[in-house]
Each structure stands twice: as C-alpha cells, then as structure tokens.
Amino acid sequence: MLEISVFCVIVLAASYWVAMFVMGRRDDVIHGKFVHVDEESDVVRPAMPPPPPPFPKRPVKAAQPTMVQPAIAETKPVNSAALQSLLAAIQQDLKSVA
C-alpha cells in the first residue's frame, strides 16, 4: 500500500511537470521557481473592464389558440360495408407483407 502511495505521488508530480511544460511555464519547470509579481507603486494595473450589459429578456409571445378543425355540419355516417372493405384491404396487405 505504501508503494502505491509513493507511486501516485510520483505520477502526480510528473503530470504537474508536464502540465507546466505544455502551458509554456518552462522556467518554472526547469528551475522550480514560480514567477511572483512585484508589489511596486510604479506598476499601474489596468482597471477591470466594465461588466457586459445584462442579457435582454425574451419577448413574451401571445398565446396562440390551438388548431381546432371546425366541425362540418354535413357529415355522412360511415356504413358497415365501407368499414368491412377497408378491413379486408388491410388484412390483404398484412398477408402480402408476411
């Protein structure tokens, strides 16, 4: 268990070294030193830019009525013979597919 812990620490250090090298901080990797910003009064830090304006809110759309088909006053009643012929046609199509 101790060997695994030591191995994990070595892998973690190696991955940190690779990450620093890839990011371009080669001086830190080679010498093991980190760059510190000197706190001098001569250096003027730029002010933070103002925050971007807030996102505009979405416009509210008026609710549209659902599409309802108007009822046709003169509907013909469906007779049994038409339903029987439709059923026979569907059964024939199913038999031909199978």
Residues near 26 by beta carbon (within 8 Å), at least 6 away in sequence? 20
Three-class secondary structure of residue 18 per DSSP:
helix
What pLDDT, on the 0 to 100 scale, is given for residue 10? 95
Is the overall model pTM greater than 0.75, yes or no? no
**Distance in angstroms (rounded) separating the CA atoms of residues 88 and 81:** 11
Q: What is the pLDDT of residues 17-49, one digit of tens each?
A: 888 778 776 665 555 555 555 555 555 666 788
